[in-house]
Amino acid sequence: MPILKCNDYGFECNFKAEGEQEKVIQDFRIHTEEVHGIDYSKEALIQFLIRKQK
């Protein structure tokens, strides 16, 4: 199951998005833009997920 956690990417934040890939990407994008002011592209987050699987 895909998981993206803010603290894996240098944020002092306990937020994590998990579930189906599309939902994880959407939830993480919304959170990082609203809370951290960073607008990650969908493609960048797909790359984050691919790298975590290795």
Residue numbers of the domain that contains 48: 3-53
Return the pLDDT at 28: 97
Number of domains comprising the chain: 1
* Contact by Cβ (8 Å): 25, 39: no
CA distances from 15 to 3, 7, 8, 32 (A): 10, 8, 10, 9
Return the pLDDT at 52: 83
- The predicted model scores a pTM of 0.89
Mean pLDDT per segment of 10 residues, for the chain of length 54 residues?
A: 92 96 96 96 94 80
